[in-house]
Structure 1
Amino acid sequence: MSEFAQTASASKTKRPLVLAALVISMFMAAIEGTIVATAMPNIVGDLGGFSVYSWVFSAFLLMQAVTTLIYGKLSDLFGRKPIFLIGVVIFLTGSLLCGLATTMTMLVVFRVVQGLGAGAVQPIVTTIVGDMYTVEERSKIQGYLASVWGISSVVGPLLGGFIVRFSDWAWIFWMNIPLGIIGMIGVIIFFHEDVTKEKKSIDYLGSSLFFIAISALIVVLVQGGAAWAWTSPQILTLIGVFIIGALLFIWQETKATAPMMPLGIWNNKLITIANLATLTSGMMMIGLSSFLPTYVQAVMGYSAIVAGFTLCTMSIGWPISATIAGHLVLKIGFRPTAILGGIALGIGGLLFVFLDPDKGPVYAGISSFVVGVGMGLSSTTFIVSIQGSVDWKTRGVATSLNMFMRIIGSALGAAVLGGVLNMRMNQLMQDSVGAGSDIIDSSSTNALLDETMRSRLPENALVQLQDSLSTALHAVYIGLFAIGLITFALTLFFPKIERK
């Protein structure tokens, strides 16, 4: 579809009303991650099945990761509107079924359905914004979308706790239904687009190979070092499936008439650098989200509420800086704004290297806020510049590819930094055994996260455990700083964009 045709259809579109519908839809998908985490203890208490606890989250992440890019390509072929509506319908169907689940296994299966729909929501919403607004307007609107994620990170845990306290946990899923319906109605009525009536060529084989390869990779990253050893037959087999599937996918994309992911998109230096920096910043974000609450609770000895505060500051810094980035790219340009984001990520990582129990949660919260500032400056700059560097026919897949890189970065970061933590803790455990102490083991480390069990520990055992966990998490934060430096280095290679 030509840019002229897109502009013509945009004249019929009620942009403020469509934006409101998109924000509601984005909030629906964004809050799902944080609200479920709060309710999980109640869900496990009701359904049992603690052994598959992690798969309630992993199943959702897996399906979101493997479908994001596919939905992006389909939106380029058939238009944003039908693909968005299909995604929301699938998401709402999964939400309804999740609330009706009677076993943990059923819940995991229904979370797969929910993730299958969620893969369409964020990338298509962002792509529609790219279609409706000019580059100057996009920079500001992306700040609003980033605010949705920040607000959901703060509101999600509170709302989840409120629902399980005064109602049935099923409503954490069922509350999506009215939100999704409102979002769909707004897009159906007020969003108009003209899609050329030509025969569409769908890359079924490429999509299937991508699905298989990325599914194998995500399972490796989720299960490796946790449920299965890295050298186990299961992990080695899945790694083989990923490598073979990825090679066949690349081969197929060079042959396909309308490839699912046009490989030529990687020839664009701007897109390549932005996606690589998004991958590493995604690793940094998940490392902070996963391990900072543990440090504040287990090492510093504060409550879960205080731990949540230290993490919420990142969610506050992100939307604020994303909004500021919208103005900065117009004043100083994309490259300087991206570099500022890289600097903030590097500084944030460095602050965590110097984190110790004596500095307290306020220092941890400030450090988290600085990382959020870096995420907001860089992510907004990347997505707006990517959308401005491609035409309508590739904007969907280009936008989705950037989202996909963040998801893969999160999964990769959790695996790598989790591996660093486990390796350091195992080393400390072996050292304690060698020194004739049996205080430190995996079960006693878990006691640090339970206030009742922690209070029963002898004073010398408590101090030794906290020191050991602090040492292990310090290694994680060094890794976090290294990832921040890599992200900063990548922003230095971000090309200068001549504003038209």
Structure 2
Amino acid sequence: MAQQQADATAQTAPPVVEQAVGEQAAVDERPARSQREIRLVMVGLVITMLLAMLDNLIVGTAMPTIVGDLGGADHLSWVVTSYTLATAAATPIWGKLGDLYGRKGTFLTSIVIFLVGSALSGLAQTMNEMIAFRALQGLGAGGLMVGVMSIMGALVSPRERGKYQGMFAAVMALATVGGPLLGGFITDHFSWHWIFYINLPLGAVALAAVTITLHLPKVRSTARIDYAGAALLTTGITSLVLITTWGGTQYAWGSKHIIGLAVLAAAALIGFCYVEQRAEEPMLPLKLFRNRDFSMVSIIGFIVGFSMFGAVAFLPQYQQIVQGASATNSGLLLMPMMFGMLVVSLVVGQTVTRTGKYRIFPIIGTTLMGGGSLLLSTLGTDTTRFTSACYMAALGAGMGFLMQITMLVAQNSVELKDMGVASSTATLFRTIGGSFGVALFGAIYTHQITATLTARLGAQAAAAGGDSNQITPTKLKGMKAPVQDAFHHAVSNGIHSVFLWGAGITVIAIVASLFLRGAPLRGAGQPAESSLESAAI
């Protein structure tokens, strides 16, 4: 009882002092800020979010040109993998460093590292240089999204956060649709080097805006950095990302390389759990998962990443090959899904701000996401574009109920001193979910493509048809009618299996959403509940 009274006093007291790690007497509170101050900070945060979201989407469009200039097509996958690995491994570390040493300083540092990596990537002369510089860029990128979300958590109470997080959903939708188009435009009319250089002026504006407008209390730490935990977590995450990147493509799922990585990942993560239970200031406090809401939204976030990245990766295949859409407009093909996600996210954010209640939204979102996946599994060779657009809008609406709510609930479940860790953990689960989704769906999709082509054309004829992943509408037009028909059915069957599996996996998220307690969102001036006392199971 005494501790609860102390917490309440700390939340309502005028002075603003962030808790010094390792000291019990420090105050842990969120300062009151004017709407104008928050909006000014939002400028830098939104631009930074745009940088983080746009990068991979722009680069993906330019990769054929980059490989043509630099050579080394056999190392193409590593340009993406090096960035993804560095981002995933750095994400939880940036979150913890922000909690230990101050969010503003670590956030600015991550932006600078990202911009240095961008400039060097634009100057790369060989594929090896490109891979190395992309890894450096990814190291900084790991702190961008975490920094944005944790700073938002430090500035705005959970109750008020919904109306601001709608802007981030808009940025995500804009980046997903505009990224591929912008990458193609820059590559065609300027040079692929500029897809990296364009980050520099945007990053400079973000740096200036955050430096000038963001004022957070300084943090002094007496705790030691958990180097062992960081090393083990990085090893485990790296192994998992490599498994999802290489499995079924570069190496067979049952190969010694994939099995070895799985053993290494399991050993590293088990060792990580052991170390974290004994660390003075753990890199990722396992006690957070004793909070039922935090654990459930981590599972939901994983499934959201799983479904979203799977949809983005495979829906354009169907639209281009089966429905004959132009590859140039592939980004626009996802507009119904992104529009549904954006509109719902904005409405949900405003509703949460007005009512302070959110529990029903994850339930609706996971159910709608599963229903949208089930509808998309019915796509066939004769499905109209309007029908498929409606199905995509349903899936996007389901994601709109979840995209910001998962981060909001994760942050509401912890104390302010753990805001960075909570933000990085939520981001990490979504990232790993996306990696697993693309890998699993890719294996299912490829299997169905091969099986259908073999059934319709025979083994030799199917092999002569070429790599289905490189079939374009233009190439299909030059093939005979039976071959075109076989490819149309093959892609349709692949999409059917991908989204049917997606609907089944979404059931896990539906169950997790039902177990959410729906703890009240803290408003300005309200005390933060202890992460253990508020939701211990």
What is the TM-score with the length of structure 2 in the denominator? 0.88
The CA deviation at 1:203 is: 0.2
Q: Is the 8 A contact 1:432 1:438 kept in 2?
A: no
Q: Distance in 1 between matches of 2:33 and 2:490?
A: 62
Fraction of identical pairs, as percent: 33
Q: Judging changes above 3 Å, is the alpha-carbon distance between structure 1 residues 332 and 341 closer, same or farther for their aligned structure 2 residues? A: farther
Q: Is the 8 A contact 2:100 2:219 kept in 1?
A: no
Task: Indicate yes or no: 2:137 matched with 1:125.
Answer: no
The CA deviation at 1:332 is: 7.4
Q: Distance in 2 between matches of 1:172 and 1:306?
A: 18
Q: Is the 8 A contact 2:118 2:133 kept in 1?
A: yes
Match of 2:173 among 132, 146, 150: 150
Q: Is the 8 A contact 1:286 1:414 kept in 2?
A: yes
Amino acid at match of 2:472: D
Q: Judging changes above 3 Å, is the alpha-carbon distance between structure 1 residues 361 and 5 closer, same or farther for their aligned structure 2 residues? A: same
Amino acid at match of 2:377: V
Amino acid at match of 2:481: E
Match of 2:17 among 5, 29, 35: 5
Q: How does 1:29-40 map to 2 (within 5 A)?
A: 29-40=52-63
Task: Indicate yes or no: 2:89 matched with 1:66.
Answer: yes
Task: Indicate yes or no: 2:392 matched with 1:368.
Answer: yes
Q: Is the 8 A contact 2:159 2:521 kept in 1?
A: no
The CA deviation at 1:54 is: 2.4
Q: Secondary structure at the match of 1:439?
A: helix
Q: Secondary structure at the match of 1:356?
A: coil
Q: Is the 8 A contact 2:380 2:489 kept in 1?
A: no
Q: Is the 8 A contact 1:62 1:115 kept in 2?
A: yes
Q: Distance in 2 between matches of 1:447 and 1:78?
A: 46
Q: RMSD across aligned C-alpha pairs, in angstroms?
A: 2.1
Amino acid at match of 2:242: V
Residue in 1 that maps onto 2:505:
483
Match of 2:242 among 219, 229, 232: 219
Amino acid at match of 1:213: G
Deviates more, 1:273-282 or 1:182-191: 182-191
Q: Judging changes above 3 Å, is the alpha-carbon distance between structure 1 residues 448 and 382 closer, same or farther for their aligned structure 2 residues? A: closer
Task: Indicate yes or no: 2:353 matched with 1:341.
Answer: no
Amino acid at match of 2:17: A
The CA deviation at 1:8 is: 7.7
The CA deviation at 1:449 is: 2.5
Residue in 2 that maps onto 1:331:
355
Q: Judging changes above 3 Å, is the alpha-carbon distance between structure 1 residues 316 and 122 closer, same or farther for their aligned structure 2 residues? A: same
Task: Indicate yes or no: 2:468 matched with 1:446.
Answer: yes
Amino acid at match of 2:58: I
Q: Is the 8 A contact 1:64 1:115 kept in 2?
A: yes
More helix by share: 1
Residue in 1 that maps onto 2:380:
356
Residue in 2 that maps onto 1:55:
78
The CA deviation at 1:345 is: 0.5
Deviates more, 1:186-195 or 1:328-337: 328-337
Q: Which runs of 5+ in 2 are unaligned?
A: 1-6, 19-28, 523-537
Deviates more, 1:437-446 or 1:462-471: 437-446
Task: Indicate yes or no: 2:394 matched with 1:382.
Answer: no
The CA deviation at 1:463 is: 1.1
Q: Secondary structure at the match of 2:144?
A: helix
Q: Which runs of 5+ in 1 are unaligned?
A: none
Match of 2:434 among 410, 431, 437: 410
The CA deviation at 1:471 is: 1.8
Residue in 2 that maps onto 1:293:
316
Residue in 2 that maps onto 1:463:
485
Match of 2:130 among 97, 107, 115: 107
Match of 2:420 among 380, 396, 412: 396
CA deviation vs aligned residue, 1:352-393 (integer Å, no higher than 9, x gap): 022112122222222222222211211212211221221111
Q: Judging changes above 3 Å, is the alpha-carbon distance between structure 1 residues 18 and 208 closer, same or farther for their aligned structure 2 residues? A: same
Q: Distance in 2 between matches of 1:89 and 1:499?
A: 34
Q: Distance in 2 between matches of 1:29 and 1:430?
A: 41
Amino acid at match of 1:100: L
Q: Distance in 1 between matches of 2:235 and 2:223?
A: 23
Q: Distance in 1 between matches of 2:464 and 2:198?
A: 38
Q: Is the 8 A contact 1:65 1:407 kept in 2?
A: yes
Deviates more, 1:162-171 or 1:313-322: 313-322
Q: Is the 8 A contact 1:345 1:488 kept in 2?
A: no
Residue in 1 that maps onto 2:528:
none
Deviates more, 1:144-153 or 1:2-11: 2-11
Match of 1:275 among 272, 283, 298: 298
Residue in 1 that maps onto 2:495:
473
Deviates more, 1:127-136 or 1:302-311: 302-311
The CA deviation at 1:492 is: 1.6
What is the TM-score with the length of structure 1 in the denominator? 0.94
Amino acid at match of 2:153: G
Q: Is the 8 A contact 2:30 2:157 kept in 1?
A: no
Task: Indicate yes or no: 2:518 matched with 1:496.
Answer: yes
Match of 1:255 among 267, 273, 278: 278
Q: Is the 8 A contact 1:91 1:113 kept in 2?
A: yes
Q: Is the 8 A contact 2:86 2:142 kept in 1?
A: yes
Q: Distance in 2 between matches of 1:390 and 1:442?
A: 57
